[in-house]
Amino acid sequence: MTKGWGNASKSKSPQAWDRRMTVPADAPILTADAMRAAEAACAAAGVSLSELMERAGAAVADVAWRMAAGAPVLILCGPGNNGGDGYVAARLLKARGAKVRVAALAPPATDLARAARAAWDGPVEAFAPDTAPAPLIVDALFGVGLTRPLSDEWSAMLRRFAGRRVLAVDVPSGIESDGLQDWLPPLPAAVTLALGALKPAHLLLPTAPACGRVLLAPIGIDAERRMRTLPPLPPETPTADAHKFSRGMVLVRAGPMKGAAGLSAAAALRAGAGYVVLEDGGPAPLSAIIAEAPAAFRARLDDPRVGAIVVGPGFPAGDALAAAVGEVLDAGKPLVLDAAAIGAALPRLGKGTAAAILTPHEGEFARAFPDLRGSKIERALAAARRAQAVVIYKGADTVIAAPDGRVVAAWPGSPWLATAGTGDVLAGVCGAMLARGGDAFDAAVAAVGWHIARARSIGRGLVADDLVKTAK
Ligand SMILES: NC(=O)C1=CN([C@@H]2O[C@H](COP(=O)(O)OP(=O)(O)OC[C@H]3O[C@@H](n4cnc5c(N)ncnc54)[C@H](O)[C@@H]3O)[C@@H](O)[C@H]2O)[C@@H](O)CC1
Ligand SMILES: [K+]
């Protein structure tokens, strides 16, 4: 039932395995409200809520069984349906022969949880400051129903179990699942089993690292897929009749810091563009880049073969940037707008302009959209709607949003991307993907996927140039 599971007992280093932060690819993401709506739709379609809880508990038991590998398990149950999942898991684990204890924070407060508690035929301890630990702790205290931070007393009780292996049911308790609050869980999880769909908090900072490795138990919910995790990178081989212009032509406008635009141009080539022209560039990292003086470059803007124009890398705000942005907007070609070019273009975007991808990092986003509130996903969506453009809201928890409501959350990226010049590379890769034609959101998703995959394959010691230097 669960996806992406690896057997802990086979791992040479369980501790290293525990610390891995991964999420299932191309998986649905739902807010708590959307989750409840999906649950209601399931019930209307004839799958009872108790059946959903039974499936959830079975998935928890399955993962716990393998994580415990024969060692005793302590299941902590809260008052709501998250606790109900815990009681179901306890019953099923015991039936499989596992050594299970259950400790409850409070009596069950929902009908479903009461029924699940009643079906558990073992003892229930009160979860207290002296509750004895076990090698595996299953955290079924609170899920998407958490409405306020955990009390200091409960937080202290949970912190006592730090260092044990922890399996969190749906979310680590204490996390607000929609990503609206930065509450951190007192007991971070090695593995979090998301039920029905991933939740924003699994994929956004600061909560995502506390979820550890995230697995998904679909439990039969028909989750809509407008919000999802990063899909696998599609295989890309040029068609047999490809030529340099059919693979996409990208223009890169250079500002005063010429190395940045050079990196973008090299990235566009490396990501598959057939022909890349760099305006007024300095020494470019690849000699296959066509460097042109400003006048010749401007004449290119009208070339019908141009698939995308990149502007912003190495180009601080000012009159020169405003003029450059004005020219590329007038050209009516698909655009990648990075850094200060985003703010310069914003007043004109969405008013009949061509498709655009904006690539702000945190500071640039705050300058361009200072009034937006909510989770990073909500802010990215609001910015995309306002700009009528695709927004890649960069960071370790990059979020890609389209004006029509589609979202991809790209956590976990690669920590090696946190170094100068990688944003210039991403802008160039976006140019290559956009120049192929097709949907700008799909292009942005492919660009982020390319960037992360490349960074992961390089790993330790990565500098931005490495992302574009070689094909492998
Ligand atoms: N939505 C679905 O489709 C399914 C949900 N299931 C489970 O149900 C969970 C949601 O259940 P609930 O909505 O009952 O919510 P929870 O079980 O997350 O918690 C709600 C309860 O906790 C109390 N509470 C909230 N914050 C508190 C705090 N800080 N301190 C003390 N008490 C607090 C509430 O008053 C309520 O009694 C999911 O996370 C998942 O584990 C599963 O059973 C399977 C299906
Ligand atoms: K939980």
Per-block mean pLDDT, blocks of 10 residues, the chain (472 long): 39 42 96 94 92 97 98 98 98 98 97 98 97 98 97 98 97 98 97 98 97 96 92 84 85 94 96 93 83 93 96 96 96 97 96 93 97 98 98 97 98 92 97 96 97 93 91 76
- Ligand 2 mean position to 63 CA, how many Å? 14
- Ligand 1 mean position to 168 CA, how many Å? 13
User: How many angstroms separate the CA atoms of 271 and 274, rounded?
Assistant: 9
Per DSSP, what are the bridge partners of residue 390? 357
What pLDDT is stored for residue 2 in this prediction? 43
Asked if residue 108 has its Cβ within 6 Å of ligand 1, the reply is: no
Q: What is the interface pTM, i.e. ipTM, of the complex? A: 0.97
> What is the atom index within ligand 1 of the atom nearest the CA of 177?
39
Could you give all domains of the chain from N- to C-terminal order, each with its CATH number?
8-227 (3.40.50.10260), 249-469 (3.40.1190.20)
User: How many angstroms separate the CA atoms of 135 and 380, rounded?
Assistant: 41
What pLDDT is stored for residue 155 in this prediction? 98
What pLDDT is stored for residue 15 in this prediction? 36
What pLDDT is stored for residue 391 in this prediction? 98
What pLDDT is stored for residue 245 in this prediction? 80
Number of CB atoms found within 10 A of residue 187's CB: 23
What pLDDT is stored for residue 285 in this prediction? 81
What pLDDT is stored for residue 353 in this prediction? 83
Amino acid occupying residue 70:
G
Residue 31 phi, psi (nearest 5): -75, 170
- Ligand 1 mean position to 149 CA, how many Å? 13
Asked if residue 153 has its Cβ within 6 Å of ligand 1, the reply is: no
From residue 230, alpha-carbon distances to 323, 424, 456 in Å are 36, 21, 14
Asked if residue 54 has its Cβ within 6 Å of ligand 1, the reply is: no
Question: What's the pLDDT tens digit per position in 244-295?
Answer: 887 889 999 999 999 999 999 999 999 999 999 999 877 778 889 999 999 9
Residue 123 phi, psi (nearest 5): -70, 155
